[in-house]
């Protein structure tokens, strides 16, 4: 065994510090949310669930939570089939234009979100979609599509299209062979793409700041406004719940991906 050189030790120490920097903010929220103190004190004086009670007892927060969940579910329901169909077409077709379309579908990742948000606000203002549920869902479908497309394209890369040919040569039509042969094999990447679209819709804030209002304000918009005004530990409780939800969904997605496909 070789002795550790000073450079190697420095590498370990620096990396450890960077990892602490990355993890610390994620870990700090839960203890704050269970603290009884009105103001931030660390370590928390005593354990309490009062901020969770305040969250669940507040009709405005509850309404915002319903809006967020509705948006996220509808986004997945629309973005997943659209994204799967598009990814399938991109992987199967040899048309030149498909490369351009592929790039176009990744645009939401390239254009700074603040620009997209303001642009959507102007368009929605013209067609009367500001502060409506369909408006919010459509915007989130657009933002979630790239995740579905990327995930499903990766899944299709390890799938042998010859299998679908066999099914078709045995008399299945294209649609039936897709559902019977292809889809079961790329199922995990479809589920993973859908989960990423869900998380993206749940966390989306900037577009919501511009186009949501009235009774259709998602959690993130209310949190943003609350954070700008004062620091209310109720936010810590909501943040903890949101983070727990995200992590569980990511674990679910990666567990599925490991199963194959």
Partner 1 sequence: MLALVSPALLVILALIVLPVGWLAWQSIYHDGFTLENYRRVFTEDIYWRSFALTFEISLAVTVIALLLGYPVAYLANSVPKGWSILILSLVVLPFWTSVLVRAYAWLALLQRTGVINQLLRYLDVVGEPLALVHNTFGTVVATVHILLPFMVLPLYATMQKIPGDLMQAGASLGASPTLTFMRVFLPLSLPGVLAGCTMVFVLCLGFYITPELLGGGRTVMVSMLVSRNVELYNQFGAASAVAVVLLLCVLAIFFAVSRFISLDRILGQK
Residue 92 is a binding residue for partner 1 (CB under 8 A): yes
Q: CB under 8 A: which stretch of 53-61, 164-172, 180-188, 245-253 binds partner 1?
A: 245-253
Collapsed DSSP state (helix, strand, coil) of residue 44: coil
Q: What are the beta bridge partners of residue 60?
A: none
How far apart (Å, rounded) are the C-alpha atoms in residues 149 and 194?
10
Residue 224 is a binding residue for partner 1 (CB under 8 A): yes
Quick one: 185 exposed, middle or buried, by C-beta within 10 A (0-12, 13-18, 19+)?
middle
Please calculate the CA angle 123-120-141 and round it to the nearest 5 degrees.
120
Q: Could you tell me the smallest distance in angstroms from the CB atom of residue 195 to partner 1?
A: 10
Residue 18 or 62: the one with the smaller Cβ distance to partner 1 is 18
Collapsed DSSP state (helix, strand, coil) of residue 45: coil
Q: CB under 8 A: which stretch of 58-66, 160-168, 184-192, 243-251 binds partner 1?
A: 243-251
Residue 252 is a binding residue for partner 1 (CB under 8 A): no
How far apart (Å, rounded) are the C-alpha atoms in residues 127 and 44?
50
Residue 43 makes CB contacts below 8 A (sequence gap 6+) with: 31
In the window 23-62, what residues touch partner 1 (CB under 8 A)?
A: 23-26, 28-29, 32, 39-42
Q: Could you tell me the smallest distance in angstroms from the CB atom of residue 217 to partner 1?
A: 14
SS3 content of the chain, % helix, strand, coil (to 5): 80, 0, 20
Q: Could you tell me the smallest distance in angstroms from the CB atom of residue 34 to partner 1?
A: 13
Among 115, 165, 166, 252, binds partner 1 (CB under 8 A): 115
Buried b (16+ CB within 10 A) or exposed e, 148-160: bbbbbbebbeebe
Among 64, 71, 136, 150, binds partner 1 (CB under 8 A): 150
Q: Could you tell me the smallest distance in angstroms from the CB atom of residue 119 to partner 1?
A: 3
Residue 114 is a binding residue for partner 1 (CB under 8 A): yes
Assigned token pair, 112: 């700074």
Q: CB under 8 A: which stretch of 59-67, 156-164, 182-190, 223-231 binds partner 1?
A: 223-231
In the window 163-222, what residues touch partner 1 (CB under 8 A)?
A: 199, 202-203, 205-206, 209-210, 220
Q: CB under 8 A: which stretch of 58-66, 162-170, 184-192, 224-232 binds partner 1?
A: 224-232
Q: Could you tell me the smallest distance in angstroms from the CB atom of residue 88 to partner 1?
A: 6
Q: CB under 8 A: which stretch of 53-61, 165-173, 186-194, 240-248 binds partner 1?
A: 240-248
Residue 130 is a binding residue for partner 1 (CB under 8 A): no
On whether the CB atoms of residues 152 and 84 are closer than 8 A, the answer is yes
How far apart (Å, rounded) are the C-alpha atoms in residues 228 and 208?
16
């Amino acid at each position: 065994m070789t002795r550790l050189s000073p450079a190697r030790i420095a590498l370990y120490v620096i990396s450890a510090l960077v990892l602490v920097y990355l993890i610390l903010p994620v870990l700090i929220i839960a203890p704050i949310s269970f603290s009884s103190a009105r103001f931030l004190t660390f370590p928390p004086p005593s354990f309490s669930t009062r901020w969770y009670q305040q969250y669940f007892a507040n009709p405005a927060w509850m309404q915002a939570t319903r809006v967020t969940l509705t948006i996220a579910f509808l986004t997945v329901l629309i973005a997943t089939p659209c994204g799967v169909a598009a990814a399938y077409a991109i992987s199967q077709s040899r048309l030149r234009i498909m490369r351009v379309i592929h790039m176009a579908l990744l645009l939401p990742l390239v254009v700074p979100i603040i620009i997209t948000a303001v642009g959507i606000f102007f368009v929605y203002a013209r067609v009367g979609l500001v502060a409506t549920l369909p408006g919010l869902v459509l915007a989130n479908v657009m933002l979630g599509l790239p995740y579905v497309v990327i995930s499903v394209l990766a899944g299709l890369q390890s799938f042998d299209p010859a299998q679908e040919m066999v099914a078709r040569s045995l008399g299945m039509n294209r649609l039936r062979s897709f559902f019977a042969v292809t889809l079961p094999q790329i199922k995990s990447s479809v589920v993973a793409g859908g989960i990423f679209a869900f998380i993206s819709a749940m966390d989306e804030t900037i577009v919501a700041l511009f186009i949501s209002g009235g009774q259709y304000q998602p959690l993130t918009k209310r949190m943003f406004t609350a954070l700008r005004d004062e620091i209310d530990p109720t936010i810590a409780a909501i943040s903890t719940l949101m983070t727990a939800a995200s992590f569980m969904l990511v674990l679910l997605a990666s567990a599925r991906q490991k199963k194959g496909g």
